């Protein structure tokens, strides 16, 4: 797999659901919500992306930071506050998984019962105060139904280590309906202390996803996704700062987000760009899900529009005047139609067709065209990887094999192909690269043709083998295919194959790369190899070292050996490549004068330098395009 870029696998497996990403990293079992057995991770991921694309409201579950009670008096005041008649539409309490209506003496009995089991002096108090918010326009009855089911699922189900008692109230608010939950942290069954944090089994993301799923079941449009999947790079302001600003000016939304380093900002922008590619892939999948279905066509357009918004540095934020696609769907479609189910079905069909296509490619007559079709299949698999939620089949065809697992791997042709793919169609260097690769294929085919019997045993031709070698890198599936063929040979044929491949590598080592492409190849190779790769084994860098050793005057070479790389600036523009070449020139000079064995320096330091430079250039480019994110936040 190529180093130096954000892992697609990392972004896709993370999904737009932060709790799932956290569980996958920690080895947990994932989010548990009602109906989770029927609602797969894949379907929930599709739904979160679709909600973002449609600008659906986000679930908001908030714990009041200073809301924990430390005494009976504080608990009495808090319960009286949330259940007061002038604000509450409905009030209830839960004990042992059973909801009970509040009566005149219920609160006083709850205070006595809860406080009797309190021990010690927890820093955040013996209770938690949590607010569950609903989008503007939500019906009060629907909000109450969701709040009751949410409280049961989170605190009374026993799914998160215990059952906890709580008093709840749904408030009538002119701007937005919300529910209050005051929860006793001492568990009823096992006495386990309630813990809500990023590291605990019960966290905000679990609660938000449950809130969104239950809300949708009651006809309330809502989604729970992470900020980066919506293009929001900054973290929200701290609650203390928000409240202080609100108390001063009545405008908590004016609080700037916490500061962030340039490196972290660049990394987050890269993650957002990966999400943009996922929206684009889902747009394709949605278009395949329901041909002729007006809703799916609009959903597909929404996915593509979302991808463009993120690519341009925008955010996927709910808008008051946005007509939600769910409304269009409800008015024009049968309510039994489920767009997520349609996308899931389309995904399965896509996988079935892909497997059939791969089998058809393998059934082709051996030759260069079969290899090119395999390479095209790998490119298509990369594009569809996000749409299929990183299905193992597409992963094997989209991800590159490690050099040690690929008998045809070689940095020079691989980097030639990479550089070619990055050039504009009219760039004259494309012709130079094509000519170099054509000459390479011809030389390789002539060498491989000397053992026709071995070609027959492998079920290949010299031209097909030459095409494999000219690609330079291959997918996991391609590498596994050839390992299987090699392992099927007898000992003698296996030795002949090793000799043939060694001869091919010698031919590739002798390739003359056009002068104005060497630096680009060196940068590609530096960023492609593993950080432990030996610097001296990077072909394009060694080519630059040889060229500089011949081109520099004795005076300039002496400056470079003393640590001044200025003489290299006219020939080598990239600072990381320039530093690497200078290091290798010094290393070779030390060998000449007999100052010890050759130092086996790795590429790690120069790789880091190159990536830092790329991040700086990306930031400069974004600034030129006006993509700097304005200070702001979203609660």
Q: Which of 621, 619, 618, 543 is nearest to 577 (CA)?
A: 543
Question: Cα(314)–Cα(304) distance, rounded to whole angstroms?
Answer: 13
Answer whether residue 634 shows pLDDT above 50: no
Question: Cα(272)–Cα(548) distance, rounded to whole angstroms?
Answer: 40
The backbone torsions φ and ψ at residue 35, rounded to the nearest 5 degrees and listed phi first, read 80, 10
What does the pLDDT read at residue 482?
A: 92
Answer whether residue 576 shows pLDDT above 70: yes
Does the domain made of 59-222 have the CATH classification 3.30.930.30? Answer: yes
Question: Cα(55)–Cα(563) distance, rounded to whole angstroms?
Answer: 55
Answer whether residue 214 shows pLDDT above 90: yes
Q: Which of 37-51, 431-445, 534-548 has the lowest mean pLDDT?
A: 37-51
| Arithmetic mean of pLDDT, 436-440 | 94
Question: Cα(463)–Cα(368) distance, rounded to whole angstroms?
Answer: 6
What does the pLDDT read at residue 252?
A: 53
Query: What is the helix (H) or strand (E) element at residue 561, kind and residue range?
Result: helix 554-561
Q: What is the pLDDT of residues 56-98, one digit of tens each?
A: 899 999 998 788 999 999 999 999 999 999 999 999 999 888 8
| Arithmetic mean of pLDDT, 187-216 | 90
Per-residue pLDDT band for 512 (boundaries 50, 70, 90) equals: confident
Cβ-proximal residues to 601 (8 Å cutoff; 6+ apart), any chain: 534, 535, 536, 583, 587
Helix (H, G, I), strand (E, B) or coil at 439: helix
Instruction: Let me know: does 205 contact 604? Beta carbons within 8 Å.
Output: no
Q: Which of 290, 370, 385 is nearest to 11 (CA)?
A: 385
Question: Cα(603)–Cα(238) distance, rounded to whole angstroms?
Answer: 40
Domain ranges of the chain: 59-222, 403-509, 515-624
Structure token digits, residue 44: 């929930």
Instruction: Let me know: does 165 contact 94? Beta carbons within 8 Å.
Output: yes
Per-residue pLDDT band for 18 (boundaries 50, 70, 90) equals: very low
Answer whether residue 16 shows pLDDT above 50: no
DSSP output for 43-62: HHHHHHHHHHHTTPPBPEEE
Answer whether residue 10 shows pLDDT above 60: no
Helix (H, G, I), strand (E, B) or coil at 64: coil
Structure token digits, residue 467: 């095409």
Question: Cα(219)–Cα(142) distance, rounded to whole angstroms?
Answer: 8
Q: Which of 328-332, 500-504, 621-625 has the lowest mean pLDDT?
A: 328-332
Q: Which of 326, 338, 328, 324 is nearest to 290 (CA)?
A: 338
Question: Cα(458)–Cα(481) distance, rounded to whole angstroms?
Answer: 11
Question: Cα(487)–Cα(491) distance, rounded to whole angstroms?
Answer: 9
Question: Cα(181)–Cα(154) distance, rounded to whole angstroms?
Answer: 11
Q: What is the pLDDT of residues 262-306, one digit of tens each?
A: 999 999 999 999 899 889 888 888 887 766 778 888 888 999 999
CA atoms lying within 13 Å on the CB side of residue 544: 32
Instruction: Let me know: does 194 contact 122? Beta carbons within 8 Å.
Output: no
- Say which residue the tokens 């000449």 belong to: 592
What does the pLDDT read at residue 325?
A: 40
Structure token digits, residue 212: 């969104």
Structure token digits, residue 561: 């050996």
Answer whether residue 470 shows pLDDT above 50: yes
Q: Which of 531, 547, 615 is nearest to 581 (CA)?
A: 547
List 127's β-bridge partners, or say none: 184
What does the pLDDT read at residue 347?
A: 80
Q: Using CA atoms in the order 427, 430, 432, 433, what is the torsion angle rounded to 10 degrees? A: 150
Answer whether residue 239 shows pLDDT above 70: no
Q: What percent of the chain has pLDDT over 90?
A: 53
Question: Cα(48)–Cα(58) distance, rounded to whole angstroms?
Answer: 10
Answer whether residue 337 shows pLDDT above 50: yes
| Arithmetic mean of pLDDT, 197-222 | 90
* More reliable by pLDDT, 565 or 337: 565
Q: Please give the sequence-ordered ranges of beta strands (E in DSSP) within 398-546, or none if there are none.
A: none
What does the pLDDT read at residue 459?
A: 93
User: Exposed, middle or buried, 336 (CB in 10 Å: 0-12/13-18/19+)?
Assistant: exposed
Q: What is the pLDDT of residues 132-152, one digit of tens each?
A: 999 988 999 999 999 999 999
Per-residue pLDDT band for 623 (boundaries 50, 70, 90) equals: low
What does the pLDDT read at residue 435?
A: 94
Instruction: Let me know: does 142 contact 90? Beta carbons within 8 Å.
Output: no
* More reliable by pLDDT, 494 or 40: 494
Tell me the pairing of strands 98-101 and 88-95. antiparallel
Answer whether residue 171 shows pLDDT above 90: yes
Q: What is the pLDDT of residues 367-381, one digit of tens each?
A: 999 999 999 899 888
Answer whether residue 331 shows pLDDT above 50: no
CA distances, 291 to each of 287, 298, 300, 350, 531 (Å): 7, 11, 11, 14, 47
List 97's β-bridge partners, or say none: none
Answer whether residue 384 shows pLDDT above 90: no
Q: Which of 16, 38, 71 is nearest to 279 (CA)?
A: 16
Q: What percent of the chain has pLDDT over 70?
A: 83
CA distances, 571 to each of 552, 554, 608 (Å): 10, 16, 22
Rg (CA), the chain: 31
What does the pLDDT read at residue 256?
A: 79
Q: Which of 48-62, 215-229, 531-545, 616-630 has the lowest mean pLDDT?
A: 616-630
For the chain, the straight-line distance linking the first and the last C-alpha, in angstroms and rounded, comes to 37
What does the pLDDT read at residue 278?
A: 87
What does the pLDDT read at residue 251?
A: 57
Query: What is the helix (H) or strand (E) element at residue 495, kind and residue range?
Result: helix 491-509
- Tally the residues of the chain: 635
Question: Cα(306)–Cα(49) distance, rounded to whole angstroms?
Answer: 10
What does the pLDDT read at residue 57?
A: 92
Answer whether residue 3 shows pLDDT above 70: no
| Arithmetic mean of pLDDT, 170-198 | 91
What does the pLDDT read at residue 15?
A: 38
Instruction: Let me know: does 49 contact 282? Beta carbons within 8 Å.
Output: yes
- Say which residue the tokens 């026993």 belong to: 158
* More reliable by pLDDT, 75 or 516: 75
Cβ-proximal residues to 428 (8 Å cutoff; 6+ apart), any chain: none
Q: What angle do CA 281, 284, 287 make, to 5 degrees?
A: 150
Longest dimension (CA), the chain: 97
Query: What is the helix (H) or strand (E) element at residue 169, kind and residue range?
Result: strand 166-171
How many helices (H) and strands (E) the chain has is answered by 25, 6
Average pLDDT along the chain: 83
Answer whether residue 630 shows pLDDT above 70: no
């Amino acid at each position: 797999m190529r180093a130096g870029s954000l892992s697609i696998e990392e972004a896709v497996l993370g999904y737009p659901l932060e709790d799932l990403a956290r569980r996958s990293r920690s080895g947990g079992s994932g989010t548990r919500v009602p109906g989770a057995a029927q609602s797969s991770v894949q379907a929930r991921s599709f739904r979160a992306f679709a909600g973002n694309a449609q600008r659906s409201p986000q679930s908001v579950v908030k714990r009041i930071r200073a809301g924990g009670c430390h005494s009976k008096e504080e608990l009495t005041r808090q319960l009286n506050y949330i259940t007061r008649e002038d604000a509450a539409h409905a009030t209830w309490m839960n004990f042992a998984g059973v909801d009970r209506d509040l009566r005149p003496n219920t609160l006083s009995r709850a205070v006595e019962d809860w406080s009797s089991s309190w021990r010690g002096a927890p820093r955040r108090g013996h209770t938690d105060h949590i607010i569950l918010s609903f989008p503007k326009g939500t019906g009060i009855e629907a909000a109450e139904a969701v709040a009751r089911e949410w409280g049961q699922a989170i605190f009374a189900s026993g799914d998160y280590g215990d059952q906890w008692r709580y008093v709840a109230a749904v408030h009538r608010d002119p701007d937005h309906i919300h529910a209050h939950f005051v929860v006793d942290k001492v568990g009823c069954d096992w006495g386990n202390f309630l813990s809500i944090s990023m590291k605990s089994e019960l966290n905000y993301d679990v609660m938000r996803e449950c809130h969104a799923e239950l809300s949708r079941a009651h006809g309330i449009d809502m989604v729970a996704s992470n900020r980066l999947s919506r293009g929001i790079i900054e973290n929200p302001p701290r609650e203390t700062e928000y409240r202080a600003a609100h108390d001063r000016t009545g405008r908590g939304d004016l609080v700037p987000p916490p500061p962030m380093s340039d490196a972290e900002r660049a990394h987050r922008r890269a993650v957002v760009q990966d999400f943009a590619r996922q929206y684009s892939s889902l747009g394709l999948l949605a278009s395949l899900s329901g041909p002729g279905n007006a809703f799916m066509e609009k959903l597909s357009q929404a996915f593509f529009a979302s991808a463009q918004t993120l690519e341009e540095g925008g955010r996927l934020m709910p808008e008051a005047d946005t007509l939600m696609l769910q409304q269009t769907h409800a008015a024009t479609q049968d309510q039994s139609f489920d767009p997520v189910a349609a996308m899931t079905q389309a995904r399965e069909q896509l996988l079935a067709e892909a497997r059939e296509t791969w089998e058809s490619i393998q059934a082709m007559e051996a030759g260069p065209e079969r290899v090119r079709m395999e390479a095209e299949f790998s490119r298509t698999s990369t594009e569809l990887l996000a749409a299929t939620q990183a299905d193992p089949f597409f992963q094997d065809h989209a991800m590159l094999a490690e050099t040690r697992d690929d008998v045809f791997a070689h940095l020079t042709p691989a980097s030639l192909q990479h550089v070619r793919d990055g050039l504009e169609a009219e760039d004259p260097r494309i012709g130079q690269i094509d000519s170099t690769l054509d000459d390479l294929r011809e030389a390789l085919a002539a060498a491989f043709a000397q053992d026709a019997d071995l070609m027959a045993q492998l079920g290949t031709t010299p031209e097909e083998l030459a095409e494999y070698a000219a690609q330079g890198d291959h997918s996991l599936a391609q590498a596994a295919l050839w390992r299987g063929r090699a392992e099927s040979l007898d000992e003698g044929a296996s030795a002949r194959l090793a000799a043939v491949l060694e001869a091919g590598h010698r031919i590739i080592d002798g390739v003359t790369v056009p002068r104005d492409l060497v630096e680009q190849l060196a940068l590609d190779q530096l960023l492609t190899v593993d950080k432990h790769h030996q610097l001296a084994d990077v072909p394009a860098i060694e080519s630059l070292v040889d060229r500089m050793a011949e081109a520099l005057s004795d005076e300039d070479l002496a400056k470079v050996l003393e640590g001044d790389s200025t003489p290299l600036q006219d020939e080598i523009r990239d600072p990381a490549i320039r530093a690497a070449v200078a290091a290798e020139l010094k290393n070779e000079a030390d060998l000449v004068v007999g100052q010890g064995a050759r130092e086996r320096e790795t590429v790690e330091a120069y790789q880091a330098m190159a990536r830092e430079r790329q991040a700086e250039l990306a930031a400069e480019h974004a600034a030129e395009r006006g993509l700097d994110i304005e200070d702001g936040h979203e609660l």
